[in-house]
Structure 1
Amino acid sequence: MRKVLLAGVPQSPNLGDGLIAHTINQLISMQGKHEVVHFDLLHGLWEDEQMHQPLAAVSGGSAAGAFAAAAVKPAAQARLNEAGTRKKMTPDALRRLKAYWLHRRKDPVMNEQLRRAVSEADAVYIGGGHLLIDTYWTFPLAVRRVAMEAKRQGKPLHLLLVGARGPWSRQAQWWLLEVCRIAATIAVRDEDSKKFLLQLDPKLASKTVALADPALYTPEAFNLAIEPEGPAEIELSPAERVMASGTGAVRQRVIGLGIMDPNEMNRHCEHRWEREDCAQWWSDAAQAIVSSGSTVRIFTNGAGTDNAFVEQYVKPLCKGNPAIELMPYPATVHQLVNSIAGCDAVIAQRLHACMPALSMNKPTYGVIWDKKLESIFTDIGLGSHLIDFRVPAEQAVLAAATTISRPEAYVKAMKRKKQELLEHMGRILP
């Protein structure tokens, strides 16, 4: 059996990164028997006992079972990321020096683990996720560590389903382009990432392809049924909405709201959204959905700052409404997927709250913030499903609350993207 080393950030508190590890594993398993060894870029060797278990085996087939099967993140432990005066006044140079010091401090443990893992692997993969970014040198240093060890031992290196975005500092650009030049192949997950890399080095064009996010394989990774495609547009009639909102036999639709701390926008994009305004927008969205005859399920991707934002800002505004369910904060990828699987449609801001829902054929709407979300939605024919948070919530969520929308372009694009992912994996596996 061939062995491959997959380096990413599966231990990130944002469970979307763990989902990426699960779905890449699924893609590899669909190409025959391979042993996958996981290496977290920031923490070292990693193993997940639930990696190859279907959702039903962990949860007993219910969302409640998923959260009962493993500990959830206590609300009391959730802390908001802050951007106080001290942090704002810290020069970028000092942040980079701190990242470099932390990186070098891990050398004795990380380098030995990596040396051994690379020596036992037939090929090395770095991915997926938004890894080709300059987080004050943290990711450039970590990605380069793996690439240079693969080069030293003469093992084939592939950049797999990664995102790339600037700005890069001069030193980060040197390191990351060095990694790209070492790699045998580069698969990015959206056209914008490809365009960004080729602007920096046009010579990378011959080995760079734009594919999709591996989370499109969520149903296969967790043995979930995919909802039927149905017609392109199925709108609920006023009578159906009245029946759904009453006590009749029509089941109320469950609309999932995947909420993120808006402070992440301040850190990663040009948009600004104050926490009080953001919480009110989501509360208004929930109330509008309930008024349309559906129920609401609020969830997060497990990041501590998202959990704290919901706990401290959103929860008080929604308290007491029986039609609004606040899910426990997930501690495992299975819990995250189960929260989403129980929804009929999803409105979310984090990419890996949207991608699992899209993969299950659920009507999915992304709230704009980071260009990666906009780019990926556009690539799969869902540009019309982007929601602008600057539009009043009642108006913004109307389509999601009343329409089961599966644009024809998306259905075709998803099938094509999934096939391209599978074929690419087949080409680069040993």
Structure 2
Amino acid sequence: MKVLVVGAGKSPNVGDQLIEKVLGWTLQNKLDIDTVSYFDLEQGKYNIDYKQPEVDVDDIKENVEQQKKYYLPRFIKTFLSIKWSDEELINSVKNNDLIIIGGGHLLIDNYSCFLLNIIRVARMAQKHNKKVVLWSVGVGSKHTYIWKVIARMFIKNIPVFTRDSKSLIRAKKLGLNTQNYILDPAFFVNDMVAPKVNKETLGLFIMDPYEMVRHSENLYKREDIAAWWLKLINILSDQYDKITIYNNGSLQDVKFIHKYLVPKIDDEKVLVHPRVLSADELIDSVNKNNLILAQRLHAVIPALALNKKVYALEWDEKLTNILADLNLQEFLLSYQMEPSQIANKLISSKPHINILDEQKLNYLQNLKSAIIENDK
């Protein structure tokens, strides 16, 4: 069987590439799928070992503060910009037996951008009599009437597996063909890469606060969050021989780190890792540390999978919901906490107990069932 994995794998945030790479590895090594190829919803076919182009930090344009954007003009612009039928998509669909769309936070209403591109792939699959499944997807909490109507018209019959229980409930309310909720694919990274046993090293995976403003109800300012991180780093530098600041590849995260933090850090113990350009570099960044504090979901998930001591900074409900499903809420911290409180948590942290065996077995059973059902 040949499988086409479709998602946002060419996003500068290489967490999306990580999702698809681990999913592809799992398909081939756990379920003996013959070949897996990859297709980005917006940018087309790509190699799963793709590296992002390097960008000079000075050339990164900082996102402005939140502005009011009107839905319909953005929707129309997106609709008109989509290549509804192109040779690359046609060949990718025709040359595969099953189309797996996911994982990632794809069922959100980003002016219907993801949805319209999912429909583009699904319609092409239907035209060529290929089966489609939405796999380990996140579902947003708010959708416009336009999104709901279009979704029910074009994707209501596609089997939907979500990556958390809240997303499953939301998908049901949207009238979609819900099946089950399962793990995020990235939880299998420790099957693909052996965990490294490290000395007590600390990695801080830092995100641009504006991302919180764009994707959640938080209204933090960059200057305030920068001051919070600088205070925390100052406290921790007395406890650790080395602290490394990492990123998930997002250009805005890198810009924030270099504009708001780097100029005010004068401590040879504190290192700033270059921008990660691939999923492999992200995995390595996580794996080389023993203790991790992270905000982006796909720094937290591989850290858990690789059995690191890890704490997560709350910002978006998708992170909160996934940790809640695993009963790991106690490892969720907040910017509302004083840096001294965070430091105490990190210093006294203990390794997590591996609790994923049952969930991983359930994941594989559901994935196998989806493949068998679509192979009929």
TM-score normalized by the length of structure 1: 0.81
Name the structure 2 match of 1:267.
214
2:110 paired with 1:139: no
Q: CA deviation at 1:72?
A: 5.0
Q: Distance in 2 between matches of 1:300 and 1:42?
A: 23
Name the structure 1 match of 2:71.
92
Overall identity of the aligned pairs, in %: 27
Q: Distance in 1 between matches of 2:33 and 2:259?
A: 46
Structure 2: 5+ residue stretches without partners: none
Q: Distance in 2 between matches of 1:79 and 1:402?
A: 39
Name the structure 2 match of 1:230.
none
Instruction: Give structure 1 regions of 4+ aligned residues with deviation exceeding 4 angstroms.
Output: 70-73
Q: CA deviation at 1:402?
A: 2.6
Q: Distance in 2 between matches of 1:226 and 1:294?
A: 19
Q: CA deviation at 1:317?
A: 2.3
Q: Distance in 2 between matches of 1:113 and 1:295?
A: 47
* Secondary structure of 2:64's aligned partner: coil
Q: Distance in 2 between matches of 1:312 and 1:331?
A: 20
Tell me if the contact between 1:294 and 1:401 (Cα under 8 Å) persists in the aligned partners: no
2:172 paired with 1:225: no
Larger radius of gyration: 1
2:32 paired with 1:32: yes
Name the structure 1 match of 2:81.
102
Q: What is the Cα-based RMSD across aligned positions, in Å?
A: 2.0
Q: Distance in 1 between matches of 2:5 and 2:112?
A: 21
2:20 paired with 1:21: yes
Tell me if the contact between 1:289 and 1:398 (Cα under 8 Å) persists in the aligned partners: no
Q: Distance in 1 between matches of 2:309 and 2:223?
A: 28
- Per-residue displacement from partner, 1:215-245 (whole Å, max 9, x unpaired)? 1111223x32366xxxxxxxxxxxxxxxxxx
Q: Distance in 1 between matches of 2:276 and 2:55?
A: 6
Name the structure 2 match of 1:170.
145
2:327 paired with 1:381: yes
- Per-residue displacement from partner, 1:334-389 (whole Å, max 9, x unpaired)? 11111111111111111001111111000111111110000001111210011111
Q: CA deviation at 1:152?
A: 2.2
Name the structure 1 match of 2:364.
422
Tell me if the contact between 1:123 and 1:157 (Cα under 8 Å) persists in the aligned partners: yes
Q: CA deviation at 1:71?
A: 7.2
Q: Distance in 2 between matches of 1:175 and 1:89?
A: 24
2:180 paired with 1:209: yes
Q: CA deviation at 1:176?
A: 2.6
Tell me if the contact between 1:75 and 1:329 (Cα under 8 Å) persists in the aligned partners: no
Structure 1: 5+ residue stretches without partners: 52-69, 228-250
Q: CA deviation at 1:155?
A: 1.5
Name the structure 2 match of 1:190.
164
2:44 paired with 1:44: yes
Q: CA deviation at 1:89?
A: 4.3
Q: CA deviation at 1:114?
A: 1.7
Tell me if the contact between 1:164 and 1:196 (Cα under 8 Å) persists in the aligned partners: yes
Q: CA deviation at 1:90?
A: 3.9
Give the residue type in structure 2 aligned to 1:428: A
Name the structure 2 match of 1:367.
313
Name the structure 2 match of 1:150.
125
2:56 paired with 1:74: yes
TM-score normalized by the length of structure 2: 0.93
Count of matched residue positions in the alignment of Structure 1 and Structure 2: 371
Tell me if the contact between 1:72 and 1:330 (Cα under 8 Å) persists in the aligned partners: no
Which has more helix, going by share of residues? 1
**Aligned match for 1:285, one of 223, 232, 255:** 232
2:202 paired with 1:255: yes
